[in-house]
Amino acid sequence: MGEMRDRMLAGLPYRPDDPDLAADGRRAAALLAVYNAEEDPHRRHEVLTELLGAVGGGTTIRSDFRCDYGHRISVGAYCFVNWGAVFLDVGPITLGDHVQLGPNVQLLTAVHPLDPAARRAGWQHAEPVTIGDNAWLGGGVIVLPGVTIGADTVVGAGAVVTGDLPGGVVAVGNPARVVRELP
């Protein structure tokens, strides 16, 4: 493996110009092209299984789905991901069981440095995103790097989740804030 790929997988600062990372990205792009065009549900599941690190039974991810690498994504059983999802998976993305994502949800793990020189040099790192069992993210929700959303939590449409949310709450807004607990 290339040094930068090893650094990325270890959660260390890396530059995405590594040849192995480029090859991983091309593999994901080719599989996504097949997945997003495929109409047969059985074949779609086969391609999704090849693309992702793990995918549970009964899970549906609608087209047009986008990700960087795929192998850093783990999706539990009986999840539903609506149209237009973007998973920037330079860091791990984990969805528990029965997670529901509305259209155009973005799960972002890439972190770019604030230092202009480091950004110009192409350095970045990643922080994982974790969505707990039975969470529901409304349309257009954006989840920033390093965020964990607890089980049974509902995030209102258009929210930007900048920090962890506990389980069993409703959160809305930009930045997302808890507005009530669920029974």
CA gap 123, 103 in Å, rounded: 31
> In sequence order, what are the beta bridge partners of 80?
60, 100
Chain position carrying tokens 């493996």:
1
Please, are residues 149 and 130 in contact by the beta-carbon 8 Å criterion? yes
Residues labelled as active-site residues: 112
DSSP code string of 88-127: E-SS-EEE-TT-EE-TT-EEE-EE--SSHHHHHTT-BEE-
- Strands 177-181 vs 169-172: parallel, antiparallel or unpaired: antiparallel
Measured distance CA(35)–CA(62) in Å, rounded = 9
Q: Strand 129-131 relative to strand 93-95: parallel, antiparallel, unpaired? A: parallel
Query: Apex CA 128: angle with CA 125 and CA 133, to 5°?
Result: 170
